[in-house]
Chain A
């Protein structure tokens, strides 16, 4: 023992430092916390003051079960942790240990073709996933210098989208609309197109709180379409804890980022972020964070902005990979000015707005031309589609305006009637059944023929058959032209002439058929008249 006069801060400091070094050699020292209360998927922990935000915690559950949680609320006297397992397996008084790591998920090609939960555990009954690499669920988005602007197209195979609201690789394009308007159908068609056109883009479909039956049906459909071989499904059901729903998009994003960072291209679909925000709201309220507008916590914007910012096109030095995001938002009664829709609209690089009215009028995909926009995709559009679809948006907007106006008038001038008829034909042409994405040549030839007036005399109900006949004709007789158009380069005048000739010849068949039918019905009417007379 030293007396007061012997006190030296340097000596004391050195002594303590030496004692720390000695104690560090002993393995039995570890920091533990105690669960003080648990419920609704949230556990409150005393101790573990050294826990980091989002750090994984291991709880000694009932019957020796290990339950994983992650630290979410780091307050002065306790930690609020969100359980990734069942809260019935955790009791007050249970011991909690720090893992020293933040949440990670397996990533890599081993996950392709599989259905997994947000922790990377298989849900498809297949073999355990032996990924060589893990990645953090929460990662910083690439910085400004790591990126380059979007310039390559990500074709959806849907003419209305690729011609009017084109999507580029690395873009974030929101799909927004009421329930049952075909939001998921657009996303799924885009995935199907990646397989059909052999683009090599890896799809990541994140189902947030979706019915398991729906996910199973989707998986089966994708398998039949041959898309599952380049798809990862991250699935969560409404029965899963809110924490898993919250984690799902971040986990899916980490899986997609692997391909982006390895010079590949990936597409991620968040279906849907409305449910994601709701899961986060549930967690936040249970963690007693102050509620704000619509009871969402104050950082709900950051929740989505940090997720969507991770979608990017990397520069050539980093391999030039990309991660394109198609988030989905469900609106209530077409209300796009609600809290979450406006947030996500402002974060993304454009939106595809689907309308219930159009859907029930049979216009599918029910894309609202006026409200849909792509802010960066124009520079990524293929030259061919750009050339054909240039005036399409304007023509359709004019048609809608005139069509609404013409309902009040019977006498229309020739020009108005022509615009309306052309608009009707274009609208008909943009209808497209599900799971049948178009190639570039199919889109171009249809749009070119229609906008150049080749189908102006074809009856409205025959537009789609005429379009299909044109495609058949070109595919069988002009295979070289088809291949040339598929490169996406701007078509030459000679190529356009060939298309117009074929289109006019096909159109004449339907026009003639129509005239014959009209003549027959006129004869029948005449016969009836004379019989009555």
Chain B
């Protein structure tokens, strides 16, 4: 067997125990690396749809068969929103009415004077 000598190890005489201790450490590190790699590979496999495990498929099927619970329909507008909309519409309508309709009423009144009003006018002229 070729002699082993690790300069990162203990100085002086390196008996087989020291070397084997380092071997153990290396083995442990290699095992850990292999485990990490295997885990990483498993994760990658889980992501790829082709290689899904049977168990995973079952779980997914189970999920598919269940009806999705109906989402609670959210009310589009709350009460105070509707009230404020109606109020603002009313205000706008009143403003319009004031500027457009009231003017026509005034002009109508001025064109067709009531008879009683005419009499009163004549009396005042005389």
A binds B: no
Q: Which residues of B contact A (CB under 8 A)?
A: none
Binding site for B on A (CB under 8 A): none
